[in-house]
Structure 1
Amino acid sequence: MYEEHFGLAGRPFQLTPDPTFWFETATHRKAMAYLGYGLQQGEGFVVVTGDIGAGKTTLMGHLLATIDPEALNAIRLVSTALDADDLLRTVAGQLDVATAGLAKADLLVAIERGLHSVARTGRRTLLVVDEAQALSVSAVEELRMLSNFQAGGRAMLQIILLGQPEFRERLHGSDHLEQLRQRVVAIHHLDPMGVEEIDAYVAHRLMVVGWEGRPDFTPDAFAALHRASGGIPRQVNSIANRLMLHAALTGNDLIDGDVVEAVVADLRADLPSPGRVTVVEAVAASDQEAEHPPLAGDEAADHARLAELEARIDEQDRALRRVLMLLVDWVEGDATRPSLAAVRDEAA
């Protein structure tokens, strides 16, 4: 609703990754440099890690929008804890290879043929795997095996792995992944934005949707926004969304540090134990309110509500049993068939 109030052409702080809003922070600039270097190598693995909401998916969307489709056949896979066999079949599907009824050995042959088919067009296949931390060790090992496929002494497949920090820790600490570590040609961890980047980040996203200065932000607002978000882009977006809504509802055209603190305090208050939750955690939890409504704040009130709900359930259960008994009597013919009105009255 605030977009119309401020005359914006769209939502500047949506949480869904959108390359249209690409903003090159210092850490994203380094990531693009590492990715560019890795792609020039034409083989092996490039690994990018970052906290939830750090911008990994947006980074990859920007990269894929800039690569030459005549040189690279980019395919993308979002891992949902796939095992090794499912991973292979998913990769095969991305290469338009039929997998029905194929055993693993035949599946690998089919994938190799699919890669050869792409290579004959003069292109190399780039496989981007998101949420790599959810992959099993066996699935990651299958990816390493796929990277062995060659044509004319050159790799036909290069792989980019995107994951949360635990994937990087696992990569460095697991003896089972030693061979994959040796295939990594570039690796980068996305750090949070610095406080000096928040101003430009917010302004950029607003200008993409036609911002003309309403609402405006004071310098201390950006400092407060950085403290509250920890510099994580998605958290910045989440808080900024609420700031914009607050400004529209109150008719305020200037957002300062006090406004940011007030909005963040509201986010804290929406949680059952705000004193034990960080601001960043409060924002993350508030993003999910629609799917996971917060509990009532007072424990005694919670118990009272629970008791009331249990009483209602017991009452409905008794009414249902009475209705079922009436229906059984009706079917068996042992009693006068009740009318629908009687059944409704009994249920009520």
Structure 2
Amino acid sequence: MYEDHFGLTERPFQLTPDPRYWFDSATHKKAMAYLGYGLAQGEGFIVITGDIGAGKTTLVGHVTEQIDPANLNLITIVSSAIEADDLLRVVATGLNIDSAGRSKAELLTLIERGLHAVARTGRRTLLIVDEAQALPVSALEELRMLSNFQAGGRALLQIFLLGQPEFRERLNGSDRLEQLRQRVIAIHHLDPMEPEEVADYIGHRLRIAGWKGTPDFADNVFQVLHRATGGVPRRLNQLMGRVLLHAAITDAAVIDAALVNTVRADAAKDLPSAARVTPNVRAVPDPAPVTPAGSPATPAPDPQLLQRIAMLETRIEEQDAALRRILTLLVDWVESDAPAPRGGLEAVRGAAA
């Protein structure tokens, strides 16, 4: 394995989240700031979203390492479309409550008692739900109901929701989640790393794994790595694992842009999606080809592509004309104070056709 070849103590770019490799990128610093603020409030919901591989699970691991068990009782759930009743049973289990054979009403009573029991020890309970985008609305509503439990004017339960971007869109766009939305006290979206953070990220992980400077890295490689992965940590880990293996096999002492592109080309043959982010990545763009006459060569247009573009433009013009006709009819109807046309919008569309 490459770690033996380069004298590393472990593989620094494993895909399994490991809080020891926590890296303070700009977006992760913001996430921790929001979490700190939210936890200080001691109530409501904290929401963190991010694309697949953005580091949400690593964030959870880092947060849980910072939590003092003497102050917070932690319950963690990785959601897999858990229905409302099953969610209550998972929470009950986290409070050491036997949920077998219990009705929903009994579970709610027992959970409230369990939260009070934790509060009497001087602690609060924090519920972390990962993959929250998989939860049905009924389960999210149940979480909102649990957040209502109080003692002495203080919330007994605080909830931390992590999900993919669609969860944030769903939270903002669903009328059924209005009451939950009003209880969100902190929210942040994990963005990909910036290009200038890639070198620090790679160096950080390598140093934790015992890196002594071999292999070295050419200056042009980090730009290529960022463009190839979009700055998403898991994609970068996946690519770097392949790059280090290739460097070990070929006994390369320096990792440069050419080596990375060779690895990506090999990966594209075996797994086309591995090169999906950026099909062609170069550290410095190649100059435009020049014809013998000295003028830049112009590639011949693809006739099929031109035909498809023309068809799309025609379709857009037709749709635009239809929309204008519909708007004109709607304006005429509003200004005339006439009764609504039978059939609603479909009738207007038919009249505009």
Which TM-score applies when normalising by structure 2?
0.77
Matches for 1:1-348 after TM superposition, within 5 Å: 1-271=1-271, 278-279=276-277
SS of equivalent to 2:80: coil
Is this contact kept in 2: 1:192–1:230, CA < 8 A? yes
2:187 is paired with a residue whose SS is strand
Is the partner of 2:241 in helix, strand or coil?
helix
Identical aligned pairs, as a percentage?
67
Equivalent in the alignment of 1:313: none
Runs of 4+ aligned residues of structure 1 deviating over 2 Å after TM superposition are 271-274, 279-282
The amino acid that maps onto 2:136 is S
Please provide the CA RMSD for this pair: 1.5
Contact persistence 1:34–1:187 (CA under 8 A) = yes
Q: In the aligned structure 2, how far is the partner of 1:205 from the partner of 1:181?
A: 37
Structure 2 gaps, min length 5 = 281-353
How many residue pairs match? The answer is 280
**Pairwise CA distance, 1:167:** 0.2
Shift of 1:157: 0.2
Structure 1 distance, partners of 2:207, 2:279, is: 28
Q: Which AA in structure 2 matches 1:278? A: R
Q: Secondary structure of 2:49's match?
A: strand
Q: Structure 1's 272 and 258: CA in aligned 2 closer, same or farther, altered over 3 A? A: closer
1:273 Cα offset (Å)? 8.7
Letter of the 1:76 counterpart:
T
- CA deviation vs aligned residue, 1:98-139 (integer Å, no higher than 9, x gap): 111110000100111111111010000000000000000000
Corresponding residue SS for 1:97: coil
Conserved? CA contact 1:268–1:279, under 8 Å:
no
Conserved? CA contact 1:264–1:279, under 8 Å: no
Aligned-partner SS, 1:210: coil
Superposition deviation, residue 279 in structure 1: 3.4
Counterparts of 2:164 and 2:173, CA distance in 1: 15
Give the equivalent residue in structure 2 for 1:318. Answer: none
Displacement of 1:272 after TM fit?
6.1
How far apart are the structure 2 equivalents of 1:218 and 1:25? 22
* CA displacement, residues 159-214 of structure 1 (integer Å, 9 cap, x when unaligned): 00000000000000000000000000000000000000000000000000110011
Q: Deviations over 1:214-247 (max 9, x none)?
A: 1111121111100110000000000000000000
Whole-Å separation in 2 of the counterparts to 1:93 and 1:132: 19
Following the alignment from structure 2 to structure 1, what is the Cα–Cα distance between the partners of residues 109 and 244?
54
CA shift digits 1:288-328 (9 cap, x unpaired): xxxxxxxxxxxxxxxxxxxxxxxxxxxxxxxxxxxxxxxxx
Offset at 1:150? 0.6
Gaps of 5+ in 1: 283-348
- State the AA in 1 paired with 2:277: V
Distance 1:233 1:281, change over 3 A: farther
Tell me the residue number matched to 1:327: none
**Using a 3 Å threshold, how does the CA distance of structure 1 residues 20 and 26 change in structure 2: closer, same or farther?**
same
What CA distance in whole angstroms lies between the structure 2 residues aligned with 1:109 and 1:12? 47
Task: Using the TM superposition, give the Cα deviation of residue 281 of structure 1 relative to its aligned residue in structure 2, in angstroms.
Answer: 9.9
Q: Deviation at 1:268?
A: 1.4
1:271 to partner: Cα distance: 3.6
2:218 and 2:154 map into 1 onto residues whose CA distance is 55
Counterpart residue identity of residue 193, structure 1: M
| Conserved? CA contact 1:235–1:280, under 8 Å | no
Tell me the residue number matched to 1:295: none
Change (3 A) 1:272 1:76: closer
Task: Give 3-state SS (helix, strand or coil) of 1:187's partner.
Answer: strand
Q: Which residue of 2 aligns with 1:285?
A: none
In structure 1, distance between residues paired with 2:39 and 2:125: 11
